[in-house]
Structure 1
Amino acid sequence: MPLLLDEVEREEVTEAWDELWDRLCLHGETVSAASFAALPRLTALAPARAQALELANAIVRGTLRHPDGDALLAGCPNEVDRLRELVDQRLRTRPADYNRLFSDLLALAGQYHWSASFGDFTDDFYAVSCPGCEAEVTIAVGDYGCYAAIRDWDQGDIERRSLRPAPAEELRDPGRWMHAAAVRDGQQRLAEGIRYVFGHAECPACDSVFTIAEAHTNANLPPALETY
């Protein structure tokens, strides 16, 4: 591994990067202790090598998939802060891969479940459990509508109820800083989508109103990590 890192530090070698990906983040998601051990060198290389930034971010996104990921990542606090700074700088330039980089930013902020869930809000769906009656509710945010529904195998989404987006001024973190970053960078669709997923939904089964973000978090994080 050190030899491969030495090679990519000297020059941009496609074969070496391919091998690093295979060893450190297979299929873009499978990480190991070696992956986190490589983070300091990848982070140091990231300002000059886009591949290094992308690979380092992928390793951070894989934290929850490794049994000791949190502990291993905790040993690299300076690297995580530096990567978050670099990604935020890139986002300000409004790159073509903005949404992917935004997901990286969420992971670097410890919001792994949102990092794995956010799309581009053209056709996003979230499956959550109603806190009131435990019915499985589909949350849709996109061109086909912004609603809560019961998903039927034959009929599709039925008994739709319109979502209630959170006013921007009432958002609280992490939704507040996510929304602020999207607005800052002129990503209006993303900003509006964030207002919806941090807003409220009405359960079609029992009519109770619940916070979408809280229900989504509870459905996607282990109990010890539940936070929103």
Structure 2
Amino acid sequence: MTDWTQVVDTHGAVGRVPVLLEQVEREETPESWEKLWDRLCLHGETVSAASFAALPRLAALAPASPQALELAGAIVRGTLRHPHGETLLARCPHEIARLRELVDQQLRTRPADYNRLFGDLLAFAGQYHWSACLEDFTDDFYTVSCPHCEAEVTISVGDYGCYSAIRDWERGDIERRGLRPVPAEELRDPGRWMHVTAVRDGRQRLAEGIRHVFGRAECPVCGSVFGIAEAYTDANLPPALEIF
């Protein structure tokens, strides 16, 4: 049982969140949801202890409430932005599993906001860094360090090409090298289930982008070949909860 007098929201206050939750549980209105977002996910990204404490009640609402599912997704996306986010999230594993299932069901309907929901799915699976960076592979760029010479390498996946390069702020991306996408049958988790989900839902651009991001790149400086996903994960994700 949550002692809401001890749990602060994004404004550093206590006691407001349970009142707002009761309001949306009785009758959902745009005003009540706006106030709840303000207290649980300020500006769509700042979370607090109250945000994670609210997840079980949001999960209970989510099967019939798109607003609750969206807010829960936004909260979990912010896990790494809270110093105790992973610990707080670990207190409700069953609710997180249920929310992940609900998002997956929504993805199967191929909704207009597919990319946002796919990012929520990644967050519910503990893939917070991919949730934050994966878009639609129209124009995606990632910066990684070569694990061999530590050169800063730009990885491009999108309409401008799929390559590794050195970014020069005057000349653009120079010394380009084509990426080496991994064959679909050789993908391993989490790339495997990400790819399977995208293919299942007919998102071919997303599926091909995942094959490139989980493939290999050549460093333009030293010529060594390295795994892109591993280099990006090492740079962006501390030890984290992962649920497959």
For the criterion TM > 0.5, the same-fold answer is yes
CA distance in structure 2 between the partners assigned to 1:32 and 1:9 by the alignment: 21
**Structure 1: segments with no counterpart, 5+ residues:** none
- Alpha-carbon deviation of 1:226? 10
Please tell me whether the aligned partners of residues 126 and 240 of structure 2 are also in contact (alpha carbons under 8 angstroms).
Answer: no
Aligned length: 226
Rounded Cα–Cα distance in structure 1 between residues aligned with 2:125 and 2:102: 13
Q: Report whether the alignment pairs 1:132 with 2:126.
A: no
Note the 1:1-228 alignment, pairs <5 A. 1-222=17-238, 224-225=239-240
Supply the RMSD in Å over aligned alpha carbons: 1.2
Summarize the Cα distance change of 1:225–1:9 in structure 2 as closer, same or farther, 3 Å threshold.
closer
Query: Structure 1 segments of 4 or more deviating over 4 A?
Result: none
User: Is the contact made by 1:217 and 1:226 (CA closer than 8 Å) also made in structure 2?
Assistant: no
Q: Percent identity?
A: 79
Deviation at 1:225, TM superposition (A): 4.3
1:219 CA drift (Å) = 1.1
CA distance in 2, matches of 1:88, 1:100: 12
Give the TM-score normalised by structure 2.
0.91
Q: Quote the residue 2:6 is aligned against.
A: none
Distance across 1 between alignment mates of 2:216 and 2:104 = 28
Q: TM-score, normalised by structure 1?
A: 0.97
- Distance, in Å, in 2 between the alignment partners of 1:85 and 1:199 is 28
Q: Distance in 2 between matches of 1:86 and 1:106?
A: 13
Q: Residue 158 and residue 226 in structure 1: after superposition, are their counterparts in 2 closer, same or farther (change >3 A)?
A: farther
Checking the alignment, whether the CA contact within 8 Å between 1:131 and 1:215 is kept in structure 2 is yes
Alpha-carbon distance, 1:39 to partner:
0.7
1:138: Cα distance to partner?
Answer: 0.2
- 1:198, 1:212 within 8 Å by CA — same for their partners in 2? yes
Which stretch shows the higher mean deviation, 132-141 or 28-37?
Answer: 28-37
Structure 2 gaps, min length 5: 1-16
Indicate if the aligned counterparts of 2:126 and 2:241 stay in contact, CA closer than 8 A: no
Q: What CA distance in whole angstroms lies between the structure 1 residues aligned with 2:165 and 2:240?
A: 27
Asked if 2 retains the 8 angstrom alpha-carbon contact of 1:125 and 1:140, the reply is yes
